[in-house]
Amino acid sequence: MEIGIDSFAAANVGNVNDRAKNSAQALDELLQRIVKSDEVGLDYFGVGEHHRAEFLDSANTVILAAAAALTKNIKLNSAVTVLSAADPVRIFQSFATLDLISKGRAEMVVGRGSFTEAFPLFGYNLNDYDELFTEKLELLLQIKRKEVISWSGKFRAPLNEQAIYPRPYQLDLPIWLGVGGTPASFARAGTLGMPLMVAIIGGETHRFRPLIDLYREAGKRAGHAPEKLKVGLHSLGYVSQTTEKAIAEYYPGYAKTFTRIGKERGWPPVTFERFAAQNGPTGAYLVGNPKEIAEKILRHSESLGGINRFTFQMDNADLSHAQLLNSIELIGKEVAPLVNAAHQ
**For residue range 21-49, what is the model confidence (pLDDT) as tens digits?**
899 999 999 999 999 999 999 999 999 99
Q: What is the pTM of this model?
A: 0.96
CATH homologous superfamily of 2-343:
Luciferase-like domain (3.20.20.30)
Can you name the residues that pair with 3 across neighbouring β-strands? 310
The residue extents of the domains of the chain are 2-343
Q: Do 186 and 218 form a contact (C-beta atoms < 8 A)?
A: yes
Segments of 71-128 assigned E as strands:
75-78, 81-82, 108-111
Q: pLDDT tens, position by position, for the chain (344 residues)?
A: 999 999 999 987 666 678 898 999 999 999 999 999 999 999 999 999 999 988 999 999 999 999 999 999 999 999 999 999 999 999 999 999 999 999 999 999 999 877 889 999 999 999 999 999 999 999 999 999 999 999 999 999 999 999 999 999 999 999 999 999 899 999 999 999 999 999 999 899 999 999 999 999 999 999 999 999 999 999 999 999 999 999 999 999 999 888 888 888 888 889 999 999 999 999 999 999 999 999 999 999 999 999 999 999 998 878 999 999 999 999 999 999 999 999 76
Write the pLDDT tens digit of every residue in 53-102.
889 999 999 999 999 999 999 999 999 999 999 999 999 999 999 999 99
Element (H, E) at 101: helix 88-102
Q: Classify the C-alpha dihedral 145-148-149-155 as positive or negative.
A: positive
